Amino acid sequence: MFQLQRPKPGLLGIDISTAAVKLLELSRDKAGLIRVEACAVAPLAPGAIVDRTVANVELLGDALKAVVKQSGTRLKTAAVAVPTSAVITKIITMPASLGDDELELQIELEADRYIPYPLDEVSLDFEVQGPNARNAELMDVLIVASRKENVDDRLAALDLAGLRAGVVDVESYALENAFSVMLEQLPEHGAGQTTAIADVGATMMTLDVVHDGRSVYVREQGFGGKELTEEIQSKYGLSFAEAGLAKKLGGLPESYLEEVLDPFRQAMARQINVSLQFFRSSGANRQLDRLLLAGGCAQIRGIREYLETALEIPTLIADPFAGMALANRIKAPTLRAEAPALMVACGLALRSFD
């Protein structure tokens, strides 16, 4: 049940990560101004998501119920995403003369050439990218497929929370979609420029390189803020929850900066640099204009300045809400603080306006 281009109006953007569920509701007025209507974050119980896979539908359903209640939203239709690593993508060419129904039939007939699983075991969708650059009689079509359990388990958890899915997206596409509303913040609205988005969450880091508004490279690797939390826990004899709060709110001994935080910042710089090296060796001969930090680790004290110096790349903290209005119930300081971690949720919520 991928739906890459056919969303229903009024979608909740719901980002399901390994540590939390994040919800965002957006609206848009007749003048085109986007407004944040609802926002909430609820922690996930250990064991709900394991290795980016839904391991316990009931626990995930409970977290979804909690985040919906906390947000106060009345919407019942959501856009969710599956991890990029759980998806197979392929751009193929098809005759430009094919209508929608003919194209769908042709892709179903030929999909087994591109998907290394039995077709009855996958969820499959496609999106027309536009005319082929070399042959005007052809069009480029993006095929996206994932094993059915990756989609079905998320749908089952939504159902437990009284929600239904209007769109099932891919996390890297949602990240790219959120970045699109930030282009006005960039010189020349980002035209012809290349931005590396490093989304560093609790256990996973995604590097998504976007050139001229379109993703040209994506790589995931296991690394995240959980490592810092566990080091705080071990070093100072705290529970995991206490360590998480201390990481966010402060109050740790003076030795924290040198003994714990600096080594983690060094590790984060190394991990991002490794992904950047893979990008550069992929044949994409592009100079990076900037690094954009997203995810919970973008909130770490001094991380922007540290990475900018270590990587020698102009570095920004992601804030997709800078040009948006806020409903009265939204607390601006809280939203701004959480903004980097809400990029995927924002990208999903923006599907309401496709």
Domain count, the chain: 2
Same-domain check for residues 146 and 268: no
* 213, 121: one domain: no
SS3 162: coil
Neighbours of 353 (CB within 10 A): 13
Q: Are residues 149 and 260 in the same domain?
A: no
Asked whether residue 125 falls in the same domain as residue 202, the answer is no
Residue 216 sits in the same domain as residue 256:
yes
User: What residue numbers bound the domain in which 348 lies?
Assistant: 1-182+321-354
Both 10 and 103 in a single domain? yes
My answer on whether 105 and 236 are in the same domain is no
Q: Are residues 227 and 276 in the same domain?
A: yes
Residues 47 and 193 in one domain: no
Indicate the pTM of the whole model. 0.91
Q: How much is the pLDDT for 202?
A: 92
Helix (H) or strand (E) holding 257: none
Q: Does one domain contain both 116 and 140?
A: yes
In three state form, how does the secondary structure of 57-119 look? HHHHHHHHHHHHHHHCCCCCEEEEEECHHHCEEEEEEEECCCCHHHHHHHHHHHHHHCCCCCH
Any residues with CB less than 8 A from the CB of 141 and at least 6 apart, and which?
91, 92, 93, 94, 103, 107, 126, 127, 128, 129
Q: Quick one: pLDDT at residue 282?
A: 86
Rounded Cα–Cα distance for residues 333 and 85 (Å)? 33
* Pair (190, 308) in one structural domain: yes
In whole angstroms, what is the distance from residue 31 CA to residue 244 CA?
41
Residue numbers of the chain with a pLDDT score lower than 70:
1-9, 284-285
Same domain, 124 and 8: yes
Give CA–CA dist 59/53, Å, rounded.
13
Give the Cα separation of 167 and 324 in Å (integer). 23
CATH code at position 263 = 3.30.420.40
- HSE-up of 25 (CA within 13 Å, CB side)? 21
**Confidence (pLDDT) at 4:** 46
